[in-house]
Structure 1
């Protein structure tokens, strides 16, 4: 029971942290775009900045997985994992993008955090896509 509460609290903290990071990234980007009157390469800047924000968010989850992967059945990552940060980063990217390859998989209550990351990633990726669409719609005239 303790592990479920712990995983729920960690999930909530991660959602709040990544949503706030994403909000401030897009708000700052929006302010920057308002100052640029006619810059055709702005969509490139938007995509690069959003990609960087997603990578930071994925990395934050990877650190959480690395810290919580205790190697037992209560909370760990199973599969062909050697315990390196790269394994946790790869697992986080697979969860965040909802790719879910299956060669690495969460065990125990880490499944809750991985599931929340997938939902969180889906929401943040669609938020980015909506932002990019609005930028293109307002600024690009064909």
Structure 2
């Protein structure tokens, strides 16, 4: 039961962290775009910044998985895992993008965090796509 509470709290903190990070990034990017004149450069900037913020969010989840895997909590990643951070980052990327390859899998209450990350990633990716669409719609005229 303790690990479920831990996983729930970690999930909540991660959602709050990633949503706040995403909001601050897109708000700052929106302010920056208002100052730039080159339309295609703006769109390129949007795509690069959005990609980077997603990678930061994936990395944050990867750090959580790595820390949980190393702690005494009965949560881990199973499969062909060497235990290094790259495995945890890869697992996070598979969860965040809802790719779910299955070669690595969560054990114990870590399944809750992985499921929340998939939902969180879907929402963040959709938010980014909507933002990019609006930027292109307002700025890219043929």
The answer to whether the superposition gives a TM-score over 0.5 is yes
Quote the residue 2:28 is aligned against.
28
Quote the residue 1:125 is aligned against.
125
Aligned length: 142
Quote the residue 2:43 is aligned against.
43
What TM-score do you get using the length of structure 1 for normalisation?
A: 0.96
- Name the SS for the 1:133 alignment partner: helix
- Name the SS for the 1:63 alignment partner: helix
Alignment of 1:71-110 (within 5 A): 74-110=74-110
Task: Please identify, of 22-31 and 68-77, the stretch whose mean Cα deviation from structure 2 is larger.
Answer: 68-77
- Note if 1:63 corresponds to 2:63: yes
- Cα distance per residue 1:82-117 (max 9 Å; x no partner): 100000000000000000000000000000000000
RMSD value over aligned CA atoms? 1.4
- Report the Cα distance in structure 1 between the residues aligned to 2:45 and 2:70, rounded to whole angstroms: 39
Shift of 1:71: 8.1
CA contact (8 A) 1:4 1:109 kept: yes
- Name the SS for the 1:82 alignment partner: coil
- Name the SS for the 2:99 alignment partner: coil
- Report the Cα distance in structure 1 between the residues aligned to 2:124 and 2:47, rounded to whole angstroms: 13
- Note if 1:9 corresponds to 2:9: yes
Task: Please identify, of 35-44 and 5-14, the stretch whose mean Cα deviation from structure 2 is larger.
Answer: 35-44
Runs of 4+ deviating beyond 4 Å? 70-73
- Cα distance per residue 1:4-56 (max 9 Å; x no partner): 11100000000000000000000000000011134322111000000000000
- Report the Cα distance in structure 2 between the residues aligned to 1:86 and 1:6, rounded to whole angstroms: 23
